[in-house]
Amino acid sequence: MESLTFFEIAKILISFAVCAPSGHNSQPWKFQVVGNTIVIAPDFTKRLAVVDSSDKELFISLGCALENMQIAATNYGYTSDYDYTDGKIVVTFTKSDSCATDTLFAHIKTRHTHRGSFTGKKIPQEQIDALKTIDNKSVAIFASCTPQADFICRGIAEGNDIQMSDTAFKRELLSWMRFNKKHIAQTQNGLCYNVLGFPSTPKPMGRMFVKMALNPKSQNKTDGKVNASASHFCVLSTNGTSPKDYIALGKTLERLLLTVCGSGLAYNFSNQPCEIPALTEKLRSELKISGYPAITLRLGYADAPKFYAPRKSVDEVMVE
């Protein structure tokens, strides 16, 4: 590694950054290397105008990518600091002989979102307590079959009733579906048939089938089954509602997800209550959260995935 230039190191770090999660696997980021810095910029051509009209989830995704990059840097002997300025994240790297590798580095490329039901096995309390310590202020975790978890499940169902009755929401969701290998190869992003557990179909046929399935009753049946199999539910909240707040939460979220996967646990996003302002306010009030709920997760145990969501190449997400 001593013979590599920082530009070459930067490309390696970006390869870990792009492993971060994003809404609909939209990958809304661009990267630029300038001297010993890497600039992470939002790619608004990938924004989800309907489900994420405030760009909250977009900036959370940038925070997740930032956290991956900073964790990976420790493996290559670099410390780093970041600043959010002029709508971009500027990460400055410094070579250090005493830099200790972050233990979460090993899980960056195997982290994944589990799309199906969990096993129903309960997570030991000591593991839940360890997850909470990642950030006691922004991470709240509730065991299933508690009043708080039941309220979250009702919020998910109410969110489905609203979103799956919204033509614009369904149109946007459908536009990010990828129905076969050729479709995936063309885009290298989106919600892929194999990751979702669907059979490969020609695009027109796939669109027709998914359109038929996009309704409140069907979605609530699916989510009801997954909710019932979850061990715990987790709500992550921000201190404020600025991009800087969302980026900070993204860093916390990614550390949480890497810890979950590295501990042999599984998670799934259940963000419906945090995507509809009226439901978010109810969630905040009922769960007595002082901040602003932004992400909801289901936690449990599950089998290892057969497929991973694709990512665009480093060269495709870099700009000069």
pLDDT digits (tens, 9 = 90+) for 224-248: 999 999 999 999 999 999 999 999 9
DSSP E strand stretches across 144-262: 177-178, 191-192, 232-238
What's the CA gap between 53 and 42, in Å, rounded? 14
pTM here? Answer: 0.96
Q: Which residues contact 38 (CB under 8 A, 6 or more apart)?
A: 10, 13, 14, 31, 32, 69, 90, 91, 93
Q: What Cα–Cα distance (Å) separates residue 38 from each residue in 31, 80, 93? A: 7, 10, 8
Query: Quick one: pLDDT at residue 2?
Result: 64
From 3.30.930.10, 3.40.109.10, 3.40.640.10, 3.40.50.2300, which CATH number describes the 6-111 domain? Answer: 3.40.109.10
User: Which residue numbers in the chain have pLDDT < 50?
Assistant: none
Question: What was the pLDDT predicted at 79?
Answer: 96
Phi-psi sector, 287: left (phi>0), alpha (psi -120 to 50), beta: alpha
Nearest to 89 by CA among 164, 48, 29: 29
- Locate CATH 3.40.109.10 in the chain: 6-111, 125-300
Q: How is 120-169 classified by DSSP, letter by letter?
A: -PPPPHHHHHHHHTT-TTTEEEEETTSHHHHHHHHHHHHHHHHHTT-HHH
| Closest C-alpha among 290, 286, 288, 293 to residue 271 | 293
The backbone torsions φ and ψ at residue 215, rounded to the nearest 5 degrees and listed phi first, read -150, 155
125-300: CATH homologous superfamily?
NADH Oxidase (3.40.109.10)
**How far apart are the C-alpha atoms of 259 and 110, rounded to whole Å?**
11
| Element spanning 29, H or E | strand 29-34
The pLDDT score that the predictor gives to residue 71 is 98
Distance CA 112, CA 119 (A): 17
